[in-house]
Amino acid sequence: MSQKILSGLNKKDIFGMGLAILITLLALYVVYFIPKVKYEGKSITSEILEKIPFNSRVWQGKDVELEANQLQGEVYNFISKIFAREYENTTIPGQKVFLVILDAGNFHYPKVCFTGAGFKSEELEPRELNLRQAKLKVHLILNENNKEKLLSVYWICIDKQVVPTWAQQKLKQLYYSLFNKKRVGLMVRIDIPVKEDIDKSVEVIKGFIEDIYQATPEQYREYLFGL
């Protein structure tokens, strides 16, 4: 049977199969026989999160980890044990954003989380924010139910590099897991109620990012915003 299968393959197919087998064997060797490097991502991650400022030029924050389940209904049920903080604009009463940061090894795709919480979620076109400091490519998800409309803006930063796509992030995650390398990976997500239109909500988030960037100690900025 195996001879018949092989006879129907050309040299290119056979080479590809052989290469795949070789890579698999090499991966198994690395996983089981090469000494592992101790993973240190979580300790530095905790240190980074502790340095995120409560107050910036115009924003004032408060931790909401303990009350996250009640903040916006069931949509926030999954974040009760992670970094979660609500910020209010001190110059525009009532204007609020919600900042969520997760270790990039432990998070779920945001659209799945919102859909599971009863929202109708739509992934919008990614945008590149022209910040005062640099450019930042972000992903947008619009979440709606019969009570509210929320815009989620998020990006993923691994070892001080913003990963532009979800697929690339998963490849990096696989690479680091395979070779058990040290890494610091964070997903930064900012949620805002949409009161007018998407563009204005994005502008509010852009201003928030710029303020938080400036208020964050310099040695920790790159872990959150990239190089």
Helix axis angle, 11-33 to 166-179, nearest 10°: 60
This prediction's pTM = 0.71
Residue from 208, 213, 220 nearest 60 by CA: 208
Q: How far apart are CA 206 and CA 168, in angstroms?
A: 24
Question: Which of the two residues, 9 and 54, has the higher pLDDT score?
Answer: 54
Q: What's the confidence (pLDDT) of residue 18?
A: 63
Task: Say if CB 216 and CB 51 are below 8 A apart.
Answer: yes
- How far is residue 23 CA from its own chain's centroid? 29
Q: What is the DSSP letter of 131?
A: -
pLDDT of residue 213: 93
pLDDT in tens, 162-192: 887 766 666 666 665 555 556 677 889 999 9
CB 216 within 8 A of CB 53: yes
Q: Are 52 and 216 in contact (CB under 8 A)?
A: yes
Q: Which residues contact 152 (CB under 8 A, 6 or more apart)?
A: 110, 114, 140, 141, 142, 143, 189, 190, 191
Indicate if the pLDDT at residue 30 is higher than 60: no
**Does residue 206 surpass a pLDDT of 60?**
yes
Q: What's the whole-number mean pLDDT along residues 43-61?
A: 89
The encoded tokens of residue 151 equal: 């815009």
* 147 SS3 class: coil
Containing 142, the helix (H) or strand (E) segment is: strand 135-144
In whole angstroms, give the CA distance from residue 212 to residue 224.
10
- Three-state DSSP class for 213? helix
pLDDT single digits (tens) 95-139: 999 999 887 665 567 777 777 777 898 989 999 998 887 889 999
